[in-house]
Chains A and B, each alone.
Chain A
Amino acid sequence: MTNDAIALEVRNITKRFPGVLANDRVNFDLRKGEIHALLGENGAGKTTLMNIIYGLYTPNEGEFFISNGEGLQQVQIRSPHDAIRAGIGMVHQHFMLVPVFSVAENIILGQEITRGPSLDLRTARQKITQLSEEYGLEVDPDAIVEDLPVGVQQRVEIIKALYRNAHILVLDEPTAVLTPQEVENLFRVMRQLTQRGVSIIFITHKLKEVLAVADRITAMRRGQVVGTTTPAESDEHKLASMMVGREVILTVEKAPAKVGDVVLEVKDLNIVDERGVEVVRQVGFQVCAGEILGIAGVQGNGQTELVESLTGLRERKSGQVVLGGKEIPELNPRLNVEAGQAHIPEDRHKHGLVLAYSIADNEVLCTYYQPPFARGLQRDQKAVMNNAVKLIERFDIRTPSPNLPASNLSGGNQQKVIVARELSRPIKLLIANQPTRGLDVGSIEYIHRQIVDMRDRGIAVLLVSAELDEITSLSDRIAVMYHGQIVATVDPDKITRAELGLLMAGSSLPTQ
C-alpha cells in the first residue's frame, strides 16, 4: 500500500492574512499510496494549507515538490489550473458543484469535451460511467445534482477529481455529512483508491476516524505543525492533546438528571417543504424539565425543519406544539420567546446575529421592544449598554467594547453572544441546534458546560447535533431521526455507537 516514495512535499509554507498567521513555516509530505490525515481544530490552518496546495491561495513563502516518476521536481502552484495539471484534486467541505447542472456537466466543467462548437455530453457520459465502474463509485451522469443525496454528491466530487487524472486527492472534512455507515463506505473507497496508486490527504477534526483509516497523522495547531505520528503510536487522548496543546477532557462530566414535569410536548408534527416533499412525518416527543433530549441523525433528515417549526420560522402541515402547558401557534417567533423558549440557532450568521449591529444591540435582538430596553417607540440606549456590560462579564466574551460590531468577534465569541442573550432571559426550554459547529475546543467545552448547567437548573433542553460524540456525552435520552421520523428513542448508556449508526441509517437493531 504505502512505500517510501514521496508523491507531494511542501516546505516552509507561510501564509499571512491581515491580523493572523494562518500557516507558519509548515513542512508536510505525502507518500505515494498513503492516507495521510491532517488533524487540527477549527482555525488551526489545515484548510488554509490545503487551499494553498490546490492553488486557491498563494503562500507568502514556501515551495512545492511533486513526484515526476523518478524523483521530486519543484513546481509552481498559483491557481487551481496548476494544481490540476500537477495531478492534485480536491474535494471541498462545502461541495463545489453547480446545483442546477447534471452530474456530467459538473464533472466536465472546465475540461469540456467538444464536438465542433457543441458540448459532447455523450462521450462525457461514457467516460464517467467508465470511471464510475472502475472505482466503484456509482453515479448517474444525467441526474441533477441538487436532487441527489449528500453522499452521492460526494461521489460526484471524487469522480470529478479522478476525471482530471488526479493522483493526489485532498478530502476536506468529508465525513461531516455522512452516516457512520456511509463513512465506512468512504473509507473503503479511499483504500481502493490507494491500491490504485492514488495518495490521499484527509483533513478532519474527528479523532476516531483518524485512528481508523490513516496511515500517518499530522497535527496542526495555530498555523504550525505540531507533530506527525501513526495510529499505532497514538490514541484519542494523545491526539487531542496534540491538537489543543493541553489535556483535553473528552467527555462531559454530569450528575444524573433530576427530571421534572413535561415542558415541551410535540404531537403528530408533519411538515412539508416548498417543493411539496414531506420532511417531517408524524413526529412526537416530550422534553421534561431538567433533562437533555438529544436528537441524533445525519443532517438532512428533517432536523433543520423540525427546529424551524418549533422556533416559529416554518409553518407546519399539521400537529401541535405545547410549551409550558400552552399550545404555541405556528410562525410567531416572538410568542415562542415570550413563552420562555431560548434558541441557539444552527447558522449563527443567518439567524443568530446581525453582524453589523453592535454586540450590545445583538444582546437585545429578541427583547429590544420590551421595557427596560424601550418604552413605546423610544429605545433606552443606556439600559441596552448596561445589559451588555453585565453579559460580557458574566459570559466572558472577549471584546474591548460592547459597541463594536459583532462581526469583529471570533466564531467562539459570537456564539457566546448568542448564548448570553438566550440564557440570560427567564426561560423554560432551550433548543440548541449544532451549538458547537465550527468552534475551537475551548469554546466547545464552554458551551457544553453551559448546556449542562441549564439542565441542572431545571431547564428542559432539546439538543440537535450531527456530532455523535456531542449527543452521546450530553444527552440523557437520545431520539434518532431518519427521513423525517423519530425511529427510536434510546438511553445513551445502554447503546453502542455502532447501534446508533444503524438507527441513523434507517436500519433497525437486530434485537428489536
Chain B
Amino acid sequence: MQKSMTTYSPWNRFFNRNRGILIGGLAVFVIVLFFYIWIPMETVAVLNATVRISTPLVLGALCGLMGERAAVINIGIEGQMLMSAFIAFLFNVWTGNLPLSILAGVLTGALLGLLLAFMAVTLKIDQIIGGTVINILAVGLTGYFYSTGLTAKGGLGPIIIPVLSDIPLIGPVLFKNPPITYAAIILVFVIHYVLFYTRWGLRTRAVGEHPRAADTVGINVYKMRYVNVILGGSLAGLAGAFLTLEAIGSFERLMTNGRGFIALACMIFGRWTPLGSWGAALFFALFTALATQISFMFGETVNIPHQVWGILPYLFTILVLAGVGKRVRSPAADGVPYTKE
C-alpha cells in the first residue's frame, strides 16, 4: 500500500515547502531593522513606498491567478486597471463620492472580466489575443473619452489605526494606510483561504487542472470559469481605483505603465498562490523603492540618467522570470479552452 506523502497538518506542509522563503524573509527583516536604527526616516520612506507600489501589483496578481487557477490566462490586467482607473477617476470628478467611485472602478474591472470570459470560454478565442483586445480597447476608450482639464475632488487619505500606528517602524508603515491598501492585504488571506480550504476553491482548481474530470462529476466548467474571471476582474478594477484615488490622485493616459504585466510576473514567481504573489509583489516593490531612494540620495553626486532607474522594474521582471524559467508549473489546463462534448 502506498505510504502517505506527508502528515496532513497544513502548517507542517507550509513550513517544509517554503523553508527558503521563510529564511529569506527573516534575513530581510533583520536587515531592515539594521537600516532603521541607522537611518530611520529613509527606511520608513522606503517601506512606505514598498507598500504603496506593491498594492496594485498584488491585486493584479490575485486577478491573474484567480483566472489561471481556473485555466483562463488573462493578459488584459493592464487594460482592466487602466479602464477602471479612468472610470473611478471620472466618478470622483462627477460625484466626489469616494466609495461610489471605488465601486465604479471595481465594476468596470468586473465588466471587462466578463468580456474576457466571454471571449475565452464561450467564443474560445486564443486567450492571449483576448487579453490583447482588452488592452487595446482600454487604451482606445480611455484615450478617446479623456479630455484634459479634469480635476478630481480630493483623493482617499490614510486611515490611521489608533495605538498600533504608534509602534515604531512598523507602525507608520503598516497601520497608517488608505483603505484599498488594507483591502489588498486582507484579500490575499481571504483568497488563500477560499482557494485551498473551501469547496469553491477545490472546484476551481479542479477546473483548472483537469476540466473534464470536473465535468464528469457534474461541475459546470463554464460557469466556474466565468465567475472566477469576473471576480478576478473586479480585483483588477480595485487596483485601477487605487491608482487614481489613493496613489496618484489624477488620471494620465497610459498611467498603468506596465503594472498589469509585472503583476503577471509576480503571479508566476509566486507560483500561482496568493501568499506567494504577495511576497513577490513586496519583493519587487522593495527593489523599486530602494532604487528610487538611492537615486535621490546619490543623484547629486553621481550622474546617472533617469532612464536607468526607469528601466529597472522591467529589467528586474525579466531577470526574475528568466531565473524561475521552466521550474514553475502552471495549472495543467492553463490557456486551453474547454469544450463540453
* Smallest Cβ-Cβ distance to B197: which chain A residue: A118
Q: Does B97 contact A (CB under 8 A)?
A: no
Q: Does A80 contact B (CB under 8 A)?
A: yes
| A105 with B210, Cβ < 8 A, contacts A80-B216, A142-B8 known | no
Find chain B residues with CB under 8 A from A54 CB: 216
Q: Does A400 contact B (CB under 8 A)?
A: no
| A138 with B213, Cβ < 8 A, contacts A105-B202, A117-B198 known | no
A92 to B5, CA, bound (A): 26
A100 to B202, CA, bound (A): 11
CB–CB B198/A109 < 8 A: no
Find chain A residues with CB under 8 A from B202 CB: 101, 105, 109, 112, 119
Q: Does B124 contact A (CB under 8 A)?
A: no
CB–CB A84/B213 < 8 A: no
CB–CB B5/A109 < 8 A: no
Q: Tally of A-B residue pairs with Cβ under 8 A?
A: 89
Q: Does A79 contact B (CB under 8 A)?
A: yes
Between A98, A139, A149, A152, the greatest number of chain B beta carbons within 10 A of the residue's beta carbon is seen for A98
* Smallest Cβ-Cβ distance to B194: which chain A residue: A117
In chain B, positions 67-121 with a C-beta closer than 8 Å to chain A are none
Of A56, A79, A81, A118, which contacts B198 at CB under 8 A?
A118
User: Nearest Cβ distance between residue B11 and chain A, in whole angstroms?
Assistant: 15
CB–CB B209/A56 < 8 A: no
| A92 with B1, Cβ < 8 A, contacts A100-B209, A101-B209 known | no
Q: Does A460 contact B (CB under 8 A)?
A: no
Q: Does A143 contact B (CB under 8 A)?
A: yes
Chain A interface size range: 35 or more
In chain B, positions 206-238 with a C-beta closer than 8 Å to chain A are 206, 209-210, 212-219
Q: Does A110 contact B (CB under 8 A)?
A: yes
Q: Does B257 contact A (CB under 8 A)?
A: no
In chain B, positions 1-23 with a C-beta closer than 8 Å to chain A are 1-6, 8
CB–CB A140/B216 < 8 A: no
CB–CB B5/A143 < 8 A: yes
CB–CB B2/A143 < 8 A: yes
* Smallest Cβ-Cβ distance to B212: which chain A residue: A96
A147 to B2, CA, bound (A): 9
A207 to B181, CA, bound (A): 67
CB–CB A80/B5 < 8 A: no
| A140 with B341, Cβ < 8 A, contacts A80-B215, A112-B199 known | no
Find chain A residues with CB under 8 A from B215 CB: 56, 80
In chain A, positions 37-89 with a C-beta closer than 8 Å to chain B are 51, 54, 56-57, 79-81, 84
Find chain A residues with CB under 8 A from B5 CB: 142-144, 147
A121 to B209, CA, bound (A): 20
A179 to B202, CA, bound (A): 33
CB–CB A99/B214 < 8 A: no
A72 to B341, CA, bound (A): 29
User: Nearest Cβ distance between residue A450 and chain B, in whole angstroms?
Assistant: 34
* Smallest Cβ-Cβ distance to B196: which chain A residue: A119
CB–CB A110/B8 < 8 A: no
In chain A, positions 106-148 with a C-beta closer than 8 Å to chain B are 106, 109-112, 114, 117-119, 121, 138-140, 142-144, 147-148
Residues of A within 8 A of B (CB): 51, 54, 56-57, 79-81, 84, 90, 92, 95-101, 105-106, 109-112, 114, 117-119, 121, 138-140, 142-144, 147-149, 152, 160
In the assembled complex, 16 residue pairs joining A and B whose CB atoms fall closer than 8 Å, in A order, are A56-B215, A56-B216, A79-B218, A100-B209, A106-B213, A110-B214, A110-B217, A110-B218, A110-B219, A111-B217, A112-B203, A114-B198, A119-B198, A119-B199, A121-B8, A143-B5
Residues of B within 8 A of A (CB): 1-6, 8, 197-199, 202-203, 205-206, 209-210, 212-219, 332, 341
